[in-house]
Amino acid sequence: MVKKNKETKQFRVRLRLNEKIIVVLLFAAASAAIAFSGAILYTLVDGSFSFFTDPKVDIIEFFLGDKWIPTGNNPSFGILPLLSGTILIAGGAVVIGTPLGVAAALYLSEFASHRIRSIVKPIIEILAGIPSIVYGFFALMLIAPIFREYFGADYFNAASAIVVIAIMILPIVISISDDALKAVPNHMRKASFGLGATRWETATKIVMPAASSGIIASSLLGLARAIGETMVVLLVAGSVANFTFNPFNEVMTMSAFIAKVATGDIPPGPAVSAAFAVGLVLFIITYIINMIAARIVLRIKTGGSLYAKKGDRRNIVARQYIKFIQASTYFLFRIRDTLHNFKNRVYKAKALTLERRYLKQRIGKVVVGGSIIIAIVFLIILLFDIFSRGIEGISWTFFTSYPSRFPSKAGIYPVILGSLYLMFLTVLFSAPLGVGAAVYLNEFARDTKYTRFLRRLIQNLAGVPSIVFGLMGLAIFVRLFNLEYSLLSGSLILTIMVLPIIIVASEEALKSVPQSFREAARGLGATKWQSVRHHVLPNALSGTLTGIILAISRAIGETAPILFIVAFFAKTAPSSIMDGFLALPSQIFYWSTHPQTEFHTLAASTIIVLLMILFAMNAVAITIRYRSQARRDW
Amino acid sequence: MKVVLRNEMLTKKTNGDDISVRNVNVFYGSNHAVKDISMDIKKRSVTAFIGPSGCGKTTLLRVFNRMNDEIIGCRTEGSIILNGVDILDKKVDPVALRSKVGMVFQKPNPFPKSIFENIAYGPKIHGIRSKGELKEIVENSLKKAAIWEEVSDRLDESAMGLSGGQQQRLCIARALAIEPEIILMDEPCSALDPIATAKIEDLINELKLRYTVLIVTHNMQQAARVSDYTGFMYLGKLIEMGKTKQIFENPTEELTENYLTGRFG
């Protein structure tokens, strides 16, 4: 029996005080999302304000004008060419990538054996993990020349970007469509088989329509991703804002313009603040798309029916959007039926025998299976091309030299160091913040309006285009806080960017710890924090670590957020957090933009190094996950 | 790809010829779920299978339309002769078979489509394209399933809006739309309330004029009410089979009597 005396009483008072302080800290970590979202909004709104109040700028012309000439004596700021460029590239990528991705998901979900699934899914993960700058380099080296030579395209053209971005969004489309297809209850498939339908008929006539909202959501998320894509477009689509929808022309997208400002290609003046206005438009567009898609995905994940319940006023926009899509697909089906009837009247249709149905199934399987093959072949060609270009540049001098005007002397010593320092700082800032926020949200927060608001903010942060983070870093960290173009600024930007990843992964890890652990501890008299610290966190450790590694492997490949801050030349490696720095992805970008082959070799060699680091990180993450699963005895 | 042997025989409707089941065994991996069952099913009658949980009734039912083929690791042996064709023969295509043997499941499972589309799905995939023909088939099937009056004015509305009993009758109509010879029913009323159950039992009585109905049921009284022949199964074996009246009033096997009188359940 524990003796209660004055000492115990004082102990418990201190305990309660400590507990309160800790909960406040965790609450602050979660609420930081408000500060970060506010920072982004402030950046965009304030910058746009300065832009629109500039005498050379007319707001009507901004939204309706069709000339975008941001520099010179008579600048013209009509956003339509940037919009057309974005629509052309993002739209084209979605038009190619969605059918490809949905077909692949259909194959994986309805036809593939377990073995094939277990081989293909990791390959899709690899596709997802390749940084966009690598895709951009590949587009520049291999895809653009093909369009130039065989299609007579401009030197820089939208088509190259469209093709590559279509592949980039495949993992998103595949994974969400696959989830949606798997969520269709199995008894529907059984009912269809019972009626004598083939696998193909069941998959296309029953399962896919039932999963249609999820598939739509996946294409929306792919669209949002494509709209925000910067580096591929910057490298290969061009920098002349032509108002055109011809994919073989050079175009500039909104994100590319902002990045051009970042790389310093544009002299100071209203052009620079124009970047903020364009960033605001970009942000709003992606925000709306992500919001609609998220509502739909939420419905699927909670298994809710998409048929409106009476009096359910939330998700009205999502429902209206779904109704719109369903109405248009219904309309498309009516057109198809009319065409079929017409065709049947014109000539006698062949009977739909069993053989023909099986033929349809075989053709169908080839088509959907083929889409997976396309993705895999693309990956193989990409990796092979880059390795064959860059392998000759890998040498000891490469790792120990500094970047130089002379490619034969150039190396990436400060570049690797810069990236490593950047990652170290990012982990330092983001891990406690992210894990703390996750612990608060999962263990302490109650389901209040405020908590739901925080969660929505975090989800929205995850959907912000990466170049907008760059703008925010410039406005807040460099200008407002005077942190200069430093490692500190860079790591702070990346911290905010990877925060949602860490929070989501940590929350998942925490959720996987059985509730009984917590209850057992509380039952013995432990406070909430004690139960979390001693029983929940240790068991959620591996999941949290994996999440952090995942976040860092995203951050190390990101170019756009640090484009405003990073340097491309250095005489020495950074020695303090206030120093400037170089980084792997930005160096790849810099060298890619030089026309000489030797620089391309340098870029390819740097990509190899980057991919090796990513591979090592993911190997560590997988090992941690594997070990913890093996050791788990609950 | 499976070649359909003697397809014409399968698609031709024949009178007479009972369905003969010979030495049917089903294995799930190493689990012997259905043990050496042989029997004759009379055409155009209702045959009920009763027995305690896990005795293999549903597995046996699923042999008739080869739904077990979809399950990985499931092996079926033996033969079932329907219209002179052994439907368990590897050369017989399950897809073709299922247009002759329809199934109604335990839980009503309409597709998330309109009522019309639910019924029209079967005929459509079997090649019927003309709108007029489809309309006729839908109306006939819904009438045969005794649900036409209730839904004739809302054929374009979603089937998910129907009540449980209506959904199950919709599923029966859906199965009837492809003109099967045999209808398999796997505990069709277990998810329904008594009133809906009564409606479906009346329906079964009408169906047996045209179709051969095999019904699995947990409810002994339902079997007594609805069926002409009853088979009692226990632990994978067919213990006794005969006219319903005889099984219930004068069972030959002691095991059957014990089950019927509730000595075990």
User: CA of B89 to nearest chain A CA: how many angstroms apart?
Assistant: 17
Residue A285: both structure tokens together: 């567009």
Closest partner residue to B70 (CB to CB) among A193, A196, A198 is A193
pLDDT of amino acid A73: 78
Q: Give the tokens for residue A35.
A: 């500060």
Question: Cβ contacts (< 8 Å) between B93 and chain A: which residues?
Answer: 354
Distance from C-alpha of A470 to C-alpha of A260, rounded to nearest angstrom: 12
Sorting pLDDT into bands at 50, 70 and 90, what band is A567?
A: confident
Q: Which residues are B46's β-sheet partners?
A: B213
CB pairs under 8 A between A and B: 83
Task: Give the span between the Cα atoms of A490 and A492, in whole angstroms.
Answer: 5
Inter-chain contact B174–A195, Cβ cutoff 8 Å? yes
Give the pairing of strands B74-82 and B19-28.
antiparallel
Please give the Cα distance from A78 to A59 (Å, whole number).
9
Chain A residue with minimum CA distance to B126: A352
Using DSSP's 3-state secondary structure scheme, residue B212 falls into strand
Please name the amino acid found at residue A618. N
Residues 172-191 of A with CB under 8 A from B: 185, 187-188, 190-191
Q: Mutate which of A181, A189, A343, A354 to disrupt the B interface (most B C-beta within 10 Å)?
A: A354
Q: Is A211 near chain B, with CB under 8 Å?
A: no
Which pLDDT value is given to residue A302?
62
Contact criterion met (CB below 8 Å) for B45 and B74: no
DSSP labels for A606-631?
A: HHHHHHHHHHHHHHHHHHHHHHHHHH
Average pLDDT over residues A384-406: 89
Buried b (16+ CB within 10 A) or exposed e, A198-213: bbbbbbbbbbbbbbbb
**Strand positions, DSSP E, A487-545:** none
Establish how many alpha carbons lie within 13 A of residue A481's alpha carbon, considering only the half-sphere containing its beta carbon: 17
Helix (H) or strand (E) run with residue A389 in it: helix A354-390
Contact A195 B107 (CB under 8 A): no
Contact B103 A194 (CB under 8 A): yes
Distance, in angstroms, between B249 CA and closest chain A CA? 35
Residues of chain A with C-beta less than 8 angstroms from the C-beta of B66: none
Average pLDDT for residues A524-544, to the nearest whole number?
A: 87
CB-CB neighbors (< 8 A) of A196 in chain B: 95-99, 122, 125-126, 178
Give the pLDDT score at B265.
Answer: 67
Please judge whether A194 and B102 are an interchain contact, meaning their C-beta atoms are less than 8 angstroms apart: yes
A206 touches chain B (CB under 8 A): yes
pLDDT in tens, A147-161: 999 998 889 999 999
Side-chain half-sphere exposure of A309, counting CA atoms within 13 A: 7
**In terms of DSSP H, where are the helices of A130-195?**
132-138, 144-151, 158-168, 170-182, 186-194
pLDDT value at position A346? 61
Cα A138 to chain center, whole Å? 19
Residue A295 confidence (pLDDT): 81
Whether the CB-CB separation of A30 and A440 falls below 8 Å is answered with yes
Q: How far is CA A33 from CA A214, A435, B193, B238, in A?
A: 28, 13, 52, 67
Q: How far does Cα A395 stand from its chain's mean position? A: 33
CB A461 within 8 A of CB A499: yes
User: In this complex, do B105 and A210 lie within 8 Å of one another by their Cβ atoms?
Assistant: no
Q: Write out chain B's pLDDT in tens, 265 residues.
A: 334 443 444 444 444 578 999 999 999 988 999 999 999 999 999 999 999 988 889 999 999 999 998 888 899 999 999 888 899 988 899 998 999 999 999 999 999 999 999 999 999 998 888 889 999 999 999 998 989 999 999 999 889 889 989 999 999 999 999 999 999 999 999 888 898 899 899 999 999 899 999 999 988 899 999 999 999 999 999 999 999 999 999 989 888 888 888 887 6
Q: pLDDT category, A90, cuts 50, 70, 90?
A: very high
Q: Give exposure, A342-351, as e/b (b: 16+ Cβ within 10 Å).
A: eeeeeeeeee
Task: Note the pLDDT of residue A306.
Answer: 46
Name which of B125, B133, B141, B160 to mutate to probe chain A: the one with the most chain A Cβ atoms within 10 A of its Cβ: B125
Q: Is A330 on the interface with B (CB under 8 A)?
A: no
Residues from chain A that touch B110, judged by Cβ atoms under 8 A, are 191
A358/B contact by beta carbon, under 8 A: yes
Instruction: Sort out which chain A residues have CB atoms less than 8 A from B179's CB and list them.
Output: none
* pLDDT value of residue A345: 63
- The whole-angstrom distance between A215's CA and the closest CA on chain B is 16
* CA pair distance A100, A177, nearest whole angstrom: 11
Alpha carbon of B226: minimum distance to chain A alpha carbons (Å): 23
What secondary structure letter does DSSP report for A156? S
**Which residues of chain B make contact with A352, given a CB cutoff of 8 A?**
125-127, 129
Please judge whether B113 and A209 are an interchain contact, meaning their C-beta atoms are less than 8 angstroms apart.
Answer: yes
| Pairing state between β B212-216 and A68-69 | unpaired
CB-count burial class (<10 Å; 0-12, 13-18, 19+) for A20: exposed
Is A71 at the interface with chain B, CB within 8 A? Answer: no
Give whole-number Cα distances, A473 to A271, A435, A469, B146, in Å.
Answer: 18, 23, 6, 69
CA A292 to CA A269: how far, in whole Å?
A: 37
- State the Cα–Cα distance between residues A168 and A162, nearest whole angstrom: 10
pLDDT for residue B7? 42
- Contact: A357, B95; criterion CB under 8 Å: yes
Q: Report helix angle A537-557 to A597-631, nearest 10.
A: 170
Q: Choose among B125, B127, B158: nearest Cβ to A307.
A: B158
- Is A204 in a helix, a strand, or coil? helix
Instruction: State the SS3 of A414-456.
Output: HHHHHHHHHHHHHHHHHHHHHHHHHHHHHHHCCCCHHHHHHHH
In the predicted structure, residue A369 carries a pLDDT above the cut 50: yes
Of A187, A209, A358, the CB nearest to B107: A187
C-alpha span between B40 and B18 (Å, rounded): 6
Phi then psi for B20, rounded to 5 degrees? -105, 125
Q: Which of B4, B121, B130 sits opposite A195 (nearest CB)?
A: B121
CA distance A199 to chain B (A): 9
- What span, in angstroms and rounded, lies between the C-alpha atoms of A273 and A266? 11
Please name which of A223, A277, A343 lies closest in space to residue A48, comparing C-alpha atoms.
Answer: A277
Q: Is A395 on the interface with B (CB under 8 A)?
A: no
The tokens describing B183, both together, are 């209808």
Residues of A whose CB is below 8 A from B67: 190, 193-194
- Confidence band (pLDDT; 50, 70, 90) for A228? very high
**CA-based nearest residue in chain A for residue B112:** A210
Among all residues of chain B, which has the CA nearest to that of A211? B112
pLDDT for position B5: 41
A582 versus A325: the higher-pLDDT residue is A582
Which one has a higher pLDDT value, A310 or B248? B248
The token pair that represents A199 in the structure block: 């696998």
Structural tokens at position B68: 């077990």
Strand, coil or helix: what is A318?
helix
Q: What would the mean pLDDT of A46-57 be, rounded to a whole number?
A: 87
Query: Tokens for B166?
Result: 């209506």
Residue A17 φ then ψ, to 5°: -65, -50
Query: Which parts of A53-113 fold into alpha helices (H)?
Result: 59-64, 80-106
Q: In this prediction, what percent of chain A has a pLDDT beyond 90?
A: 55
Mutation to test the A interface, candidates B111, B113, B134, B186, most A Cβ within 10 Å = B111
Closest Cβ–Cβ partner in B95, B111, B113 for A196:
B95
For A92-127, the pLDDT digits (tens) are 999 999 999 999 999 999 999 999 999 999 899 899
CB of A346 within 8 Å of a chain B CB? The answer is no
Question: Which chain A residues contact residue B187 at CB under 8 A?
Answer: none
In terms of DSSP bridges, do strands B237-243 and B229-234 run parallel, antiparallel, or are they unpaired? antiparallel
A571 contact B CB<8A: no
The 3-class SS string of B76-115 reads EEEEEEECCEECCCCCCCHHHHCCCEEEECCCCCCCCCEH
Whole-number pLDDT of residue A310: 42
Residue of A nearest to B98 (CA): A196
Rounded to an integer, what distance in angstroms lies between the CA atom of residue B77 and that of residue B86? Answer: 11
Please name the amino acid found at residue A494.
L
- Cβ neighbors of A455 (< 8 A, separation 6 or more) are A441
pLDDT of res. A353: 80
Place of tokens 């940084």: A131
- What is the model's pLDDT at position A322? 67
- pLDDT > 90? residue A526: no
Residues of A in contact with B109 (CB under 8 A): 185, 187-188, 190-191
Cβ of B7 and A354 within 8 Å?
Answer: yes
Mean residue pLDDT of chain A comes to 88
Q: Which pair of structure tokens corresponds to residue B110?
A: 């309409």
Contact criterion met (CB below 8 Å) for B200 and B175: no
Determine which of A423-437, A574-588, B7-21 has the lowest per-residue pLDDT on average: B7-21
Distance of alpha carbon A365 from alpha carbon A301, whole angstroms: 28
- The closest of A321, A366, A144 to A223, measured between CA atoms, is A321
CA of residue A581 relative to chain centroid, distance: 25
| Residue among B97, B105, B121 whose CB faces A190 most closely | B105
C-alpha distances in Å from residue A140, one per residue of A7, A157, A461, A594 = 72, 10, 30, 11
Tell whether A336 is within 8 A of chain B (Cβ): no
C-alpha–C-alpha distance, residues A508 and A506, integer Å: 5
**Which of B99, B109, B158 has the CB atom closest to A196's CB atom?**
B99
CA distance B232 to B198: 23
Would an 8 Å CB–CB cutoff place A327 in contact with chain B? Answer: no
Report chain B residues whose CB lies below 8 A from the CB of A205. Answer: 121, 125
Query: In chain B, what's the furthest Cα-to-Cα distance?
Result: 56
pLDDT at A53 over 70: yes
Which pLDDT tens digit goes with each residue over A181-224? 998 999 999 999 999 999 999 999 999 999 988 899 999 999 99
Band of the pLDDT at A522, cuts 50, 70, 90?
A: confident
Which of residues 498 through 517 in chain A touch B, CB cutoff 8 A?
none
Q: Which residue of A has its CA nearest to B132?
A: A341
pLDDT band per the 50, 70, 90 thresholds, residue A616: very high
Higher pLDDT, A26 or A317: A26
- Look up residue B161 and give its two tokens: 């809006």
Q: How far is A113 from chain B (nearest CA, A)?
A: 11
Q: Which residue in chain B has the smallest CA separation from A210? A: B112
Tokens matching residue A314: 């939330």
Distance CA A431, CA A448 (A): 25
Q: Tell me what ipTM this predicted complex has.
A: 0.88
